[in-house]
Amino acid sequence: MGQSAVATERTIFYLGPMNVLSDIFQHFIEKPRQRKAAAKHKERQQRFVDILTDHRCNQLAPVFTRIAQKDLTLTDGQILDAYYAFSDRIQTNTFAAAELEWVTVATLCACRPHLTSRLIRRGLLSIVWSIGDEITCDDVLAFIHHRILASDAMPYGGLPPDEGLTWIREGLPAQKALIQQVLEDVIQQNKKELDELEQ
């Protein structure tokens, strides 16, 4: 027991313990899966780069370049102005807009955590417009997980650079109280604006 052999007409070849064979076969199964997952990850990150560098809405491309270069002269105002200019061109009430908002702000929040409460507002508003205002911080995190982070997700905006991806996976879920606070404010503001439209 615990060994494997292959019988032929004349010879029996000893192949070794079963656990070694299992490891070999597992290697041949897992390697292609890992390569496929890595290729998909790269493709999704490239999608984000393509959107940022599109000549119609590339206000943020220089900011991301300066972030990657660790440019200390980049101001909060420059980040916010470029983000709002970019966001103004994509703001709709679709799931795709919400995905793109979150993918976009992830790296910005990672490099400027003190701007998080301002940067996540439009992403939260896009989710509210898409699924309603009876939501909590947990619904927001579930949306982000299923629509952006899940291995089979194909978010409209792709995936952010690695720094932003780490933030959206780890940094954002650690800030539930902040998400809930900003979400409640966004919902109230949205209701107020809707009431004013109805008058």
Burial of 105 (0-12, 13-18, 19+ CB in 10 A): buried
Name the percent of the chain in helix, strand, coil, to the closest 5: 70, 5, 25
Q: What pLDDT does residue 5 have? A: 47
- pTM equals 0.77
CB 83 within 8 A of CB 104: yes
Show the CA angle centred on residue 33, arms to residues 14 and 96, nearest 5°.
170
Neighbouring-strand partners of residue 17: 3
* pLDDT recorded at residue 164: 95
What backbone phi and psi angles, to 5 degrees, belong to 51? -65, -45
C-alpha of 147 from chain center = 8
Give CA–CA dist 139/188, Å, rounded.
17
Residue 4 has a pLDDT of 46
E strand or H helix that includes residue 16: strand 12-17
Note the pLDDT of residue 18.
Answer: 58
Q: Cα–Cα distance between 28 and 22 in angstroms, integer?
A: 10
* Distance between CA atoms of residues 95 and 110, nearest Å: 23
Q: What ranges do the domains of the chain cover?
A: 36-198
Res 45: pLDDT: 80
- As averages over each run of 10 residues, the pLDDT of the chain (199 residues) reads 49 54 64 75 79 76 93 96 91 82 96 98 94 95 95 87 95 97 97 87
Q: How many CB atoms lie within 10 A of CB 151?
A: 7
